[in-house]
Structure formats: structure tokens, C-alpha cells
Amino acid sequence: MIKIEHVKKSFGHLDVLHDVSLTVDDGSVVVILGPSGSGKTTLLRSINFLERADKGKLTIGSSSVDLHSAKKKEVLKIRRKTSMVFQNYNLFANKTALENIVEALVTGHGIPRAQAVERAKEELRKVGLSDKENYYPSQLSGGQQQRVGIARAVALDAEVILFDEPTSALDPELVGETLALIKQVAKDGHTMIVVTHEMSFAEDVADKVVFMDGGYIIEEGSPQDIFYHPKEERTRQFLRRIIPVGEYVI
């Protein structure tokens, strides 16, 4: 189980997260929705210390850390329990698809190179890129680069995979195939926290949907609860703006 407790984060005078708490069950998929600037990405980045929270506690399995005062060893331990798929792929431009995955395994997790190569090859096969393992990011389409990013995240065998709007940088025609791949990762039983604007994906895949706005969790529940029976007026306003009229009962 993952527990995020009382997380606060400010950038200067701008309060981005206000006392945010969230629980994620093992093997479940939590989708976080909300307008731009609601704090979704900052929350994800706080979980794996890409941002240092001002306050809060994180528990992943048997490991608990203070998100503000965690020491270097504690941060490394948590990072080894998480992996992240970024909006803009975050691949090393000077390394091939295979090397991008191998590097993460060897440097981040201390896995012997020969073993890392075999695991990387297997994950590239699963995402349909066996024939592209020696291609550099510049030789791959956006969708292919994101597949490498997903393969890298899965290869790390983390306790939770974090997805930060994984389709936002893709051409519309590539969104569907990337979402289909993420759905398959979910079916394989990985614990996932996904920030996305893809409503149909959220309904299909999520065990829990969380709606954030202004740095607060406004509402959370099952996809059925959030999309068809939202309790909060702010949630209803958000859904009306982004979902075709009549598609959901709001």
C-alpha cells in the first residue's frame, strides 16, 4: 500500500499543494484529474523527490519517509521503489532505446549489465520495439519514444509506476496506441498513479479517480462515482467543460 499524508508544497508565495493525502492499494490504478495548475504533477514529482515537499509523509510498503527532511539514502530507497513515465519521454538523446533502459537498470538499481540487457530486450519486445532497440530517440516517433519510456519504467520492477500526462506530447493519432499499452501494463497488475486528461481511459482503467483543483483533492471515488454521480459542484463544472454533453450523468 502507498500512503501519501498531509503533503504541502509552495513555490515562493504560490501554494501549490494544500495538505494533500491519498491512499493507493497494491495492484490498483489511481487516476488523477484536474485543470492545469491544480497540483497534479507537483504531487507526482513530490512522491519520487523530483520536487522536495515542504511537509508530508510518504509510505511505500514497509518504507516511510518525511518528504521534507528525508536524507539522501532515504530518497534513493524511495526512488528505487518508484518509476516514472514523463510527458516528454526524458530519454537520453545519445543512447539507443536499449541503452536507455539498460542505463536505468545498471546505474539506478545496480543490476549486472548482462542481466540488464536481457531484461531491456524483453521489455522492448513487449512494447513492440524489438526491431528498434538500436535506434536513437531522434530516429523514433513520439509514440515510439513514449513506448521506450514505458518499457523503462516497467523494467525497473518498481512498487509503483507514476505516469505524468503520458499522452500530452503525442500527435492525436498516436494517443490511442499509447493508452492501449498503458492499459496492458495495468492488466499485468502494476500499481499505478496516472495523471491524465483522457476521460475514457480513466473510466476504463482506474480503480479510483481523484479530482484535484487549486492544490486540494476536491473529490475521490470509483469511476462510476466521479463520472456519473459527482458530489461536488466543482467536479461537475470540470466535467461539463471537457466531456461531451450527455455522455455522463452529471
Quote the pLDDT of residue 179.
93
Quote the pLDDT of residue 247.
59
The model's confidence at residue 248, banded by pLDDT at 50, 70 and 90, is: low
Residues 6+ apart with CB under 8 A from 162: 44, 47, 48, 82, 83, 84, 85, 192, 193, 194
pTM (predicted TM-score): 0.93
Quote the pLDDT of residue 249.
53
pLDDT tens digit sequence for 165-183: 999 989 888 899 999 999 9
3-state SS string for 164-228: ECCCCCCCHHHHHHHHHHHHHHHHCCCCEEEECCCHHHHHHHCCEEEEEECCEEEEEECHHHHHH
Quote the pLDDT of residue 215.
97
Q: Which grid cell sits at 209? A: 479517480
Give residue limits of the domains in the chain: 2-242
The C-alpha cell 516497467 sits at: 154
What CATH number matches the domain at 2-242, 3.30.750.24, 3.40.50.300, 1.10.10.10, 2.40.50.140? 3.40.50.300
Quote the pLDDT of residue 242.
81
The C-alpha cell 492545469 sits at: 36
SS3 153: helix
Q: Which grid cell sits at 202? A: 480513466
